[in-house]
Amino acid sequence: ALTAGIVGLPNVGKSTLFNAITQAGAEAANYPFATIDPNVGIVEVPDNRLNKLTELVKPKKTVPTAFEFTDIAGIVKGASKGEGLGNQFLSHIRQVDAICQVVRCFEDENITHVSGKVDPIDDIEIINLELILADLESVNKRHQRVEKLAKQKDKEALAEFTILDKIKTALEDETPVRAIEFSEEQQKVVKGLHLLTSKPMLYVANVSEDEVADPESNENVQKVKEYAANEGAEVIVICAKIEEEISELDQEEKEMFLEELGITESGLDKLIKASYSLLGLATYFTAGEQEVRAWTFKKGIKAPQAAGIIHTDFEKGFIRAETVSYDDLVDAGSMGQAREKGKVRLEGKEYIVKDGDVIHFRFNV
Ligand code: GDP
């Protein structure tokens, strides 16, 4: 399963946020993919469409989809040189598919900051530089190896050498790999290099309790937003401490609490949605009388693979996917009506599944 890693300097609120994640946590029994590891937290993906489908179909059970966050502790200045948990930290980050970087935007005299002052851009640059240095080291090694082959006119090596050159130049200029443009062919090679700065990243601005309702009043948040906008990255504003409190409440209490705070959606819910999409994930639904359920798929996959997410037999024996878009189904008011209106399509093996598709798979056993 794909996972988003939570990183950040010490004392920025990572553990507090991760606590909120595990406490709000999904019921692991529903999710066979779930990793059993204290550093992994499973979260349900909030999705209003699932509530609407439940109203429409009135099933016995409704199951949201879920995915995993991984807590990655231990980054400090010099990590790429082995400081702190250095190498361990880097190998953990290598295993995640996207990065959520927690940035301290709250002031609190009682909580020391590793650099002695709260300066979010400084913090971001420390972390991003460590990742760049680590990548530069792997790329340099690879560059040397491939150079020899390239000199012998090995075609593949030549192609890779060009890519490595481009990456090396960018990294030396402190540009992360994700900001470099590559052709589709090159992208495959880049993927194989497993570089840290090629992973998509978003920033989590952690503000104090009294700032959640109006985060723009926090100068640090504005700075983070400007920085992120420059690299086309998203910023999610949260107050980790409040999220930790919310995670202990039930749904009704949670809604009341949010209303008191003057916000409509919890920071954690926003973070979950943003990370899900950062990972390139989307949701399709199955809607039967027994169960209405959301399923996670990687954007771009075809119908048989999507069926395989439910059960391998569904993929092996795939015949077709009876598909209606969520919007069409809600417009029609029921599956029967949607069918009458000709909105239910019979899709075959080549169909590329879309976010919001409601699917009934037909298969041979
Ligand atoms: P980590 O080292 O990044 O995991 O940071 P922690 O989650 O342990 O937080 C460090 C300290 O900051 C703890 O005392 C937290 O209670 C506090 N803290 C974390 N988030 C917030 C926040 O949103 N507001 C305030 N005031 N304090 C926070």
Cβ–Cβ under 8 Å, residues 39 and 71: yes
Q: 56 C-alpha to center of ligand 1: Å?
A: 42
Which of 197, 221, 242 terminates a domain? The answer is 197
Distance CA 147, CA 344 (A): 55
Asked if residue 346 and residue 228 are part of one domain, the reply reads: no
DSSP annotation of 182: -
pLDDT, residue 84, reads: 66
Helices (H) and strands (E) in the chain, counts: 14, 12
Which domain does 314 fall in, by range? 300-363
Cα torsion 204, 208, 211, 213: sign: positive
230 burial class (0-12, 13-18, 19+ CB within 10 angstroms)? Answer: exposed
Asked if residue 207 and residue 177 are part of one domain, the reply reads: no
Q: Is 235 helix (H, G, I), strand (E, B) or coil?
A: strand
Distance CA 192, CA 96 (A): 14
For the chain, the domain total comes to: 3
Asked if residue 262 and residue 181 are part of one domain, the reply reads: no
In this prediction the pTM is 0.90
Structure tokens at 216: 């723009």
N- to C-terminal Cα separation, the chain: 26
Best residue among 7, 72, 241 to mutate for probing ligand 1's pocket (most ligand atoms within 8 Å of CB) is 241
pLDDT, residue 115, reads: 76
Q: 13 C-alpha to center of ligand 1: Å?
A: 4
Cα torsion 35, 40, 26, 325: sign: negative
Q: 261 C-alpha to center of ligand 1: Å?
A: 19
Asked if residue 98 and residue 20 are part of one domain, the reply reads: yes
- Which residue type, as a one-letter code, is found at position 61? K
Asked if residue 140 and residue 203 are part of one domain, the reply reads: no
Asked if residue 208 and residue 64 are part of one domain, the reply reads: yes
Does residue 29 form part of some domain?
Answer: yes
Ligand 1 shell residues, CB under 6 Å: 8, 10-16, 106, 108, 111, 206, 208-209, 239-241
> What's the CATH code of the domain at 70?
3.40.50.300
Structure tokens at 142: 């690879």
Does residue 63 form part of some domain?
Answer: yes
Asked if residue 187 and residue 56 are part of one domain, the reply reads: no
DSSP annotation of 264: S
* pLDDT 10s digits, 327-364: 999 999 999 999 999 999 999 999 999 999 999 999 99
* pLDDT 10s digits, 271-290: 999 999 999 999 999 999 99
The mean per-residue pLDDT over the stretch 45-71 comes to 95
